Chain A
Amino acid sequence: MMKKMCVSFSMLVMVVLLGFTSRASADPIVGIIGSSVSFPVELDNTGNPDLYLNGSNFTIDSPLVLNDMLFANFPPVIPANAILDGVLFTVDLPAGMTPGLYNGVYSILGGFTPDAMDDLVDFEFQIDAQPAASPIPEPGTWLLLGTGLGLLGMTVYGRRRQASFGSAA
């Protein structure tokens, strides 16, 4: 499963973000227990000046594990009028966990100065943890899943100019 989100940063960034979070919380993302969910995003700095990505915060229900990819997948600065793609974070659904709905929130911190730590955007999400439909092949689980996610990501990437927000695959 993969979802891709497009976030625009400008002087009107908060308006954009509120619309984003509202839709995210109303639409649980299905995750398979024993696997991971990736959260690829498109970060769009629609205005001037350059935008600094200086940090992140997250909170997530147990036993889900959030892996923060901000600094791994994005540069420190989004130039003016630039758009960047990448996986913002992934969420592991440990084997043996109880099926059900789990909540999380991910925030990007930054601003228009090198040391700004403003809360730029809150990604509130809900994951519907479901058991696998059939036994997952032992050796090739992650390979297959990664391949599938990669194909899906490429598909969404191709449509990024049109979509402001991607739904779960």
Chain B
Amino acid sequence: MLTYSFVRRNLSVSVSLLLVLAMFCGAGFAQNNTHVILSQIYAAGGNSGAVLNADYVELFNPTGNTLTLNNYSIQYASATGSTISTVTILPATITLAPGQYYLIAASAGSNGAALPVTPDVADTNIAFGATAGKVALVSSTTKLASACNLSDPTVVDYVGYGTTASCSLGSPAPAPSTTKADVRTNVCTITNNSGMEFAAQDPAPHNSGSTPFVCGAPTPLAATGQATPSTVFSGNSTLLTVAVTLGTQPVSSGIAVAADLSAIGGSATQTLFDDGTNGDAVAGDNVFSYSAPVMSTGSFSLPVTVMDQQMRSAHASIALTVAVPPPTVSIQEIQSAKPSPYATKAVTTSGIVVGVKSNGFYLEAKDASTNPTTPQGVLVYTGSTAKPSYIAIGSEVEVTGVVSTYPTTSLTPGTEIDGPQTFTLIGTSRPLPAPVKITAAMDSPTGGIFQFTRFEGMRVAIDSFTTTSGTDASLNETTETNTSNGRFYGVVTGVPRPFREPGVAVTDTGFGPLPPSVPLWDSNPELLQLDSIAFGGPAINLTSNTTLTGMVGVMDFSFGGPEILLDAATRPTVTGGMMVEPVPAATGDEFTIASFNMERFYNDQNDQDNPGSSAVKVTTEAYQRRLAKASLAIRTVLNSPDIIGTQEIENLAVLTDLANKINSDTVAAGGSDPQYVPYLFLANDGTAINTGFLVKSTRVTTVNVEQSGLTTTFTNSQGKQAILNDRTPLVLHAGIKRGSAADYPVTVISVHQRSLIDIDDPTSTGATVRLKREAQAEYLAKLIQSYQAAGEHVVTVGDYNSFEFSDGFVDTIGVTKGNPVPADQVVTPPVAGLANPPLVDLVTLLPADQRQSYVEDGSAQVLDHVVVTQDLVPTNTRLVYAHIDSDWPLVNLNDATNPTRISDHDPAVAYFRIPAVQGTVKLATSSALTATANGYQAMITVTNNGTGTAEDVKLAAAVLGNASGSPLPAMLGDIQPGASKTVTIDFPASAGAPGSATVERLTGTYQGGSFGGSLRATLPVNQ
């Protein structure tokens, strides 16, 4: 921890003569501070959702002296970074008077308002982490040797903020956000504990022209007033409160507060109280209160006068709006159109409470129809305001509030009654309106996105519902634990599972008008979201294809789409669900190549090979859990593919740990060591997610691995050159071993393309995203073509972040394959023919209902592809997705013994036939007999001692003595030269007595011949 004495040593400011004079004169300044401090940090400027468009850092002079800052800098390091990533050099000389502020801002982004005051220095290179980071005020422009060297004499002040900050004075300051800055709550008291000194508050920057706040000077008596609610209907009351700040030197006493309420029909000298009466909440806290009835209407500024016994006075005002009482209307009238004809207006309405959640409740009309044309219910949104205790299921309640539409950006928003609200209980334990039964016929895939809007706010029931996603959750990434939020998607049972289709989603309105030939996708209007916990029931954690029967709830649109909030009391019956299904074992004549996006696979180290990245240092328990799950999945579900193209791996250390884990787990489980070898190169992604390979060296010879396009750039939407490949294509040149014959050569590329995030953004941000996706596709196509033209067998695997068809904005997969859609059908003009002959996306060989590696908002879709050159597509090439992630509840991430939900992507396994080697075939048989409870068991091995591949080897018959073995025939596939296949055959006890001599006769066939063997044997005795 940095101590006060340390801070004093670090001063390099010039202290003016005034300081000397002040010290000698014994002025009343509390001079316990001697240096400029960091007083505010706003770190999410310009981000999506930001209230201000630029990051800023505010300096403050807490001393009683004028301080001169010569050649200072602001230095930044990421939350977990060990080195300084950004040095922002300040003007050569900055002079700050006592109590004066100084504001340094970054370049403005595209979101949020301009800073409310003009920065003293603007357009700097400041780029703070939005919720965590480390900021130092340094009395030098030289980069600090370390991001956490607090003993460096040039460090004047230092703030680590956010929970993941690896270095701070005391504890880190709280995490700021898009709406909150880290603000020193008392700029005059420096304790060197950021966690205590800072609070996340509304950003309120000051510049050098702002009113100084001189620490230690006498402070006057002051007061602020407010009305709660500040808008009230005439005839009602509002609580007037005045918070008094006592004057100092001397301290105020005998406070008296009075307000002039004549404008609202009250006394001109109305006393406010601090004694717990008249609405005062806490006696003696210097907050004076009065519950005032209001009669007049209009907007008022009520004068307040505060006096103390020291004859000082202060003045304040209380803003109050008194409105005419709203009209009383029915819920049906409120909901008669969208937006409501009463939108933005205050209304009074009433109904039966049919659902209560933490931030509101649902009112349904007493006379609600079960076949409405417009909604008969409405959400009363209370936010964080406490609800009266009588707001409970079955209560009949009258509500007064303001009608609003939310979310306004949605095509299907909800209508709700917002505050200020008043409530009146009419009665309790009323019968609930009968629910509307939603049938399969009503849940139409062609019904359009408005098909459920007429049920908004109403009770609904579904006899049987089939899920199309796992239950969602919120993630603590440091511990890699998920907490269920109880929400999932599905359709009425009988409605086919919805899949993503080509084109731009009709609900995706961000981009604006599209070219007329660009196809539109209907957004799967049959999907319904369910929330199992909003009304207080336990979370239902389930997989896709789970059935819920007897479902009752309330239809909500406050998230912009149809969602049913399940009744807390009437819970559905949950049956079915998915089981883990291992992919088929590869036959001996096949090799397998898998793709696995492992979703931000970080370790428990502050690795030094990715400085400045936002890689998360997870706990050791979390890391070991993820390794165990990944090993389990790769071994028992993917059947240990020969090559695995990986994505989103932090670095080679993680992939090495994973390889070692798989190898050791395989041996521990009784298998032979696959000897996986990891390959990974760091690339450009700031979150340290990289492409890699795991190569099973017992089956594959690695020729070399090379990174492609590390420094390649493209022209962004602003005409500037920018890095193209955040995650670089990784190329593996390998040979599939074929016994004693030459390896079969393959070229495998692990791919992770730019995501779809912001693809519809209408600004330059979105334009750059689209250009980048197109440029990446073109780059990859050319890379593949270079190998294809050289006659190589090319397999690309990975997270293409693309569907198997055009998304309407960019046809990335089409451009990669060489055959994109026509230019008028996509926003970004595609380039065709870069791969020639065109490549084959193996997912297109699957039936439509098997095309899934991801689930987005309940819709199954493919993001992970295996794209190959045509020579690799004989009839027996196939692709299988292991559905262990996208369909499973996110809480399964927490279970080390469960191979599901390692990631959000399902891994894919592609199977390829190993071409036969031409030459002679010479098959030899051998057998090892053991006794069993029912007879005998033979481990029969067929070895190819020839020079050519024995194809389609089949052991047709096995006879021990006169007893036939089973199961037969046994298909052994191809046997490469020098290789063997083993099969277990059981014989009945009638083969002979234990210990007796007999003969085992084996016969079989292969493509072009037959083979056999006769072996003398002594029947074993069961031990």
Which listed residue (B926, B999, B1011) contacts A58, Cβ 8 A? B1011
Name the B residues within 8 Å of A117 (CB-CB).
Answer: 926, 1015
Name the residue in B921, B923, B999, B1012 with the highest tally of chain A Cβ atoms < 10 Å from its Cβ: B1012
**Interchain CA distance A60-B1010 in the complex, whole Å:** 5
Is B1009 engaged at the interface, CB distance under 8 Å to the other chain? yes
| Known A103-B920, A105-B922, A107-B924: A59·B1015 in contact at CB below 8 Å | no
Minimum distance in angstroms from A146 CB to a CB of chain B: 23
Minimum distance in angstroms from B96 CB to a CB of chain A: 94
Q: Is the CB of A62 within 8 A of B1010?
A: yes
Q: Which residue of A lies closest to B925 (CB)?
A: A57
Within 8 A of A (CB), among B265-280: none
**Interchain CA distance A66-B923 in the complex, whole Å:** 14
Is A34 engaged at the interface, CB distance under 8 Å to the other chain? no
Within 8 A of B (CB), among A43-76: 54-62, 64-66, 68, 70-71, 76
Is A120 engaged at the interface, CB distance under 8 Å to the other chain? no
Is B1008 engaged at the interface, CB distance under 8 Å to the other chain? yes
Q: Is the CB of B922 within 8 A of A59?
A: yes
Is A109 engaged at the interface, CB distance under 8 Å to the other chain? yes
**Interchain CA distance A76-B999 in the complex, whole Å:** 11
**Interchain CA distance A104-B309 in the complex, whole Å:** 121
Minimum distance in angstroms from A26 CB to a CB of chain B: 15
Which listed residue (A59, A68, A76) contacts B923, Cβ 8 A? A59
Minimum distance in angstroms from A127 CB to a CB of chain B: 13
Q: Which residue of B lies closest to A122 (CB)?
A: B922
Within 8 A of A (CB), among B919-978: 920-926, 946
Q: Which residue of B lies closest to A55 (CB)?
A: B1015
Name the A residues within 8 Å of B926 (CB-CB).
Answer: 117
Is B216 engaged at the interface, CB distance under 8 Å to the other chain? no
Q: Is the CB of A62 within 8 A of B1009?
A: yes
Is B149 engaged at the interface, CB distance under 8 Å to the other chain? no
Q: Is the CB of B1013 within 8 A of A56?
A: yes
| Known A71-B999, A117-B926: A59·B1009 in contact at CB below 8 Å | yes
Is B430 engaged at the interface, CB distance under 8 Å to the other chain? no
Q: Is the CB of A57 within 8 A of B924?
A: yes
Within 8 A of A (CB), among B973-1023: 999, 1001, 1005, 1008-1016, 1018
Minimum distance in angstroms from A115 CB to a CB of chain B: 8
Minimum distance in angstroms from A75 CB to a CB of chain B: 11
Minimum distance in angstroms from B581 CB to a CB of chain A: 38
Q: Is the CB of B1016 within 8 A of A76?
A: yes
Name the B residues within 8 Å of A58 (CB-CB).
Answer: 1011-1013
Name the residue in B946, B1014, B1018 with the highest tally of chain A Cβ atoms < 10 Å from its Cβ: B1014
**Interchain CA distance A128-B990 in the complex, whole Å:** 42
**Interchain CA distance A57-B926 in the complex, whole Å:** 9
Interface size class of B (residues with CB under 8 A): 20 to 34
| Known A71-B999, A76-B1016, A117-B1015: A57·B1010 in contact at CB below 8 Å | no
| Known A70-B1014, A109-B1015: A57·B923 in contact at CB below 8 Å | yes
**Interchain CA distance A169-B977 in the complex, whole Å:** 35
Name the B residues within 8 Å of A107 (CB-CB).
Answer: 924
Q: Is the CB of A60 within 8 A of B999?
A: no
Which listed residue (A55, A60, A109, A119) contacts B1009, Cβ 8 A? A60
Interface size class of A (residues with CB under 8 A): 20 to 34
**Interchain CA distance A62-B1012 in the complex, whole Å:** 13
**Interchain CA distance A76-B1015 in the complex, whole Å:** 11
Q: Is the CB of B922 within 8 A of A71?
A: no
Q: Is the CB of A57 within 8 A of B1009?
A: no
Name the A residues within 8 Å of B1009 (CB-CB).
Answer: 59-62
**Interchain CA distance A48-B1015 in the complex, whole Å:** 23
| Known A71-B999, A103-B920: A55·B1014 in contact at CB below 8 Å | yes
Within 8 A of B (CB), among A151-167: none
Q: Is the CB of A59 within 8 A of B921?
A: yes
Minimum distance in angstroms from A10 CB to a CB of chain B: 22
Minimum distance in angstroms from B4 CB to a CB of chain A: 87
Name the B residues within 8 Å of A64 (CB-CB).
Answer: 1010
| Known A57-B924, A71-B999: A65·B1015 in contact at CB below 8 Å | no
Minimum distance in angstroms from B427 CB to a CB of chain A: 91
| Known A105-B922, A107-B924: A57·B1016 in contact at CB below 8 Å | no
Within 8 A of A (CB), among B886-931: 920-926
Q: Which residue of A lies closest to B946 (CB)?
A: A59
Which listed residue (A54, A66, A109, A115) contacts B1012, Cβ 8 A? A66
Which listed residue (B920, B923, B946, B1014) contacts A56, Cβ 8 A? B1014
Name the B residues within 8 Å of A55 (CB-CB).
Answer: 1013-1016
Name the A residues within 8 Å of B946 (CB-CB).
Answer: 59
**Interchain CA distance A115-B925 in the complex, whole Å:** 15
**Interchain CA distance A111-B1009 in the complex, whole Å:** 28
Minimum distance in angstroms from A15 CB to a CB of chain B: 20
Q: Is the CB of B1008 within 8 A of A71?
A: no
**Interchain CA distance A76-B1005 in the complex, whole Å:** 27
Minimum distance in angstroms from A64 CB to a CB of chain B: 8
Contact bitstring B585-617, A, C-beta under 8 A = 1, else 0? 000000000000000000000000000000000
Name the A residues within 8 Å of B924 (CB-CB).
Answer: 57, 107, 119
Name the B residues within 8 Å of A61 (CB-CB).
Answer: 1008-1009
**Interchain CA distance A107-B926 in the complex, whole Å:** 12
**Interchain CA distance A66-B1002 in the complex, whole Å:** 12
Name the A residues within 8 Å of B1016 (CB-CB).
Answer: 54-55, 71, 76
Minimum distance in angstroms from A55 CB to a CB of chain B: 4
Minimum distance in angstroms from B431 CB to a CB of chain A: 82
**Interchain CA distance A57-B1010 in the complex, whole Å:** 11
Name the A residues within 8 Å of B1010 (CB-CB).
Answer: 59-60, 62, 64-66
Name the B residues within 8 Å of A115 (CB-CB).
Answer: 1018
Name the A residues within 8 Å of B923 (CB-CB).
Answer: 57, 59
Q: Is the CB of A57 within 8 A of B1008?
A: no
**Interchain CA distance A56-B1013 in the complex, whole Å:** 5
Q: Is the CB of B1011 within 8 A of A60?
A: yes
Q: Is the CB of B922 within 8 A of A68?
A: no
**Interchain CA distance A74-B1015 in the complex, whole Å:** 14
Name the residue in A57, A61, A65 with the highest tally of chain B Cβ atoms < 10 Å from its Cβ: A57
**Interchain CA distance A9-B1009 in the complex, whole Å:** 30
**Interchain CA distance A59-B281 in the complex, whole Å:** 99
Q: Is the CB of B1014 within 8 A of A71?
A: yes
Minimum distance in angstroms from B1013 CB to a CB of chain A: 4
**Interchain CA distance A36-B292 in the complex, whole Å:** 120
Name the A residues within 8 Å of B1018 (CB-CB).
Answer: 115
Minimum distance in angstroms from A114 CB to a CB of chain B: 8
Minimum distance in angstroms from A159 CB to a CB of chain B: 29
**Interchain CA distance A45-B1009 in the complex, whole Å:** 32
| Known A57-B923, A59-B921, A59-B923: A68·B1012 in contact at CB below 8 Å | yes
Name the B residues within 8 Å of A76 (CB-CB).
Answer: 1016
Q: Is the CB of A57 within 8 A of B920?
A: no
**Interchain CA distance A159-B455 in the complex, whole Å:** 105
**Interchain CA distance A49-B280 in the complex, whole Å:** 116
Name the A residues within 8 Å of B1012 (CB-CB).
Answer: 57-58, 66, 68
Which listed residue (A59, A70, A103) contacts B1011, Cβ 8 A? A59
Minimum distance in angstroms from A125 CB to a CB of chain B: 12
**Interchain CA distance A103-B1011 in the complex, whole Å:** 12
Minimum distance in angstroms from B312 CB to a CB of chain A: 112
**Interchain CA distance A61-B1010 in the complex, whole Å:** 6
**Interchain CA distance A78-B922 in the complex, whole Å:** 26
Task: Pick 6 A–B contacts, CB within 8 A, sort by A.
Answer: A55-B1015, A57-B925, A59-B946, A59-B1011, A60-B1011, A76-B1016
What are the 4 tightest A-B residue pairs by CB atom distance, in nearest-first order? A55-B1015, A57-B1013, A57-B924, A59-B1011
Footprint of B on A, CB under 8 Å?
A: 54-62, 64-66, 68, 70-71, 76, 103, 105, 107, 109, 115, 117, 119
* Besides A58-B1011, A117-B1015, 20 new A-B residue pairs in contact (Cβ under 8 A), listed by A number: A54-B1015, A54-B1016, A55-B1015, A56-B1014, A57-B923, A57-B925, A58-B1012, A59-B923, A59-B1009, A61-B1008, A61-B1009, A68-B1001, A68-B1012, A70-B1014, A71-B999, A71-B1016, A103-B920, A107-B924, A115-B1018, A117-B926
